[in-house]
Structure 1
Amino acid sequence: MDIKEYISSGIIESYVLGIATEEEVSILDCVRNKHPEVEAAIREVEILFEDTATLQEIAPPADLRDSIWATLEQNEKDHIHQKPEMVEVEYDAPVTNTVPNRRVIQFSPLATAATALLVCSIGVNAYLYQQRNATNVAMAQSETKNSTTELLLADAYKSLDMLQNPAVSMVSLAGVENHPELSAVVFWNKEDSKVYLMADKLPNAPEGKQYQLWALIDGQPVDAGTVPLMKEEVMHAMKSISEAHAFAITLENKGGSPSPTLSELQVIGQI
């Protein structure tokens, strides 16, 4: 499966919009678990759609609130100026205690609806304001991680392209007896002699030390380059090697060594 074509096929947009079929969702869930670039693409589309919805929101007219309150005040005035109907009441006995009349304001259906509209408008705008702030924070965080994400995606695409190339051999390097927890992977193209090393499972080299890759040809080590001290990338381009029967990594003094220090052997793998 070509991951680049899969991402650009439109399936991710359909998934985020909720219109993808069950089969498409099932396939996407499987692919996103194996390819981090697909998961990153899904998140980017989600952020894009959220930001687009925020930008296209329709704000209520600026004079809506004043118009609603003016209507309410007018209704109240009209009610006050209405002449109350006089009702004659016959009493069997004189009334000594009187209770003052209480004025009850009755709101018209229009005023009630207008009030509800105002409350809803305020609530919706408050919600959209919170969503906009959340989107801005997410975008800011995304920008700070942008360079790291691009590097990871570039390494992922590079690894995928190399794995699909029949001329590339993937050599797994396992930790030796003293370092069983270590591992690394070498991608060696036999046609153009290019060598790439994935050394993200190796810990940072001690102060004054540096990892060095060796190609073994009939038991003789050939320098294949040192691993950069700063691991901005997961995949490292090493020296070209035209022939090899195995690869190994040792821990050498900073700058590398013309010959490997066997007591500092870290990982090794046969081809």
Structure 2
Amino acid sequence: MKDNVKIFLESDLLEKYLIGSTTEEESIQVEHYISKYPDVSRQYEELQDNLENYARSFSVSAPQEVKEQVLQAINKKATSHRIHWFSVAASVAAIVFCTTTIMLWLQNNLLLEENSMVSTEIRNLKEDVLSTNTKLEDIKDQFVVLNNPETRKYVLRGNQRAKNLRTVAYINPVERLSMIDVVSLPELPEEQVYQMWAEVDGVMINLGVLKKRNEEKLISIPFKENASGYNITIEPKGGNEQATAENVVANISFEQQ
């Protein structure tokens, strides 16, 4: 399934469209997806069927006593006031029908809102599970890195441009894992960031923008085969595609360790 269709189905636009609570722009978007993507069309038809089945399960018949009273009134006046009592019966039936319709409409709206809430809770639960699994994997990787005798430790210290910069890199070539502990990063102007690079065959490979230390002591970085060293540079906000050689503030060569 295409990503845009998956994202659309995980939203609540179909449910809102079904009960008429979408904006004009949202309605156009929903109708476009229904007409273009079979998966969306099937989901919409299922929602319609579910709503119809729900309405049937909660259908309310007119009270028996009301029906009997109407018939009795019509029989008493059948000769002299036939037209009048037919009008009364029709009015009573219309009132009962309208009341039942309103009740069903309210119940249907409530059901759609509950479905939307349940869908949101399920989606949030999936995100929590995914986040927890990711954290567990990070903890597992940290354990492997820190407790494996094959792990090598490298300390990067800043030069005159970043005297207080200190970052510790842990590399395990056997497990192919790389992690860093950002001990301290000097403040930079808002429009600049620190960026880390791995030097492979004389080429600087981007390892990402460095951020200040957070609750997670170690941060995973991409493992680069045959890397001969690490460099940290100052780059424009958002990072750079290529390292700015004149802005190197820390570097270390693995061959010298």
Q: TM-score, normalised by structure 2?
A: 0.40
Q: Which has the larger radius of gyration?
A: 1
Which fold has the larger relative contact order, with Cα–Cα distance below 8 Å and residues 6 or more apart in sequence? 1
Q: TM-score, normalised by structure 1?
A: 0.38
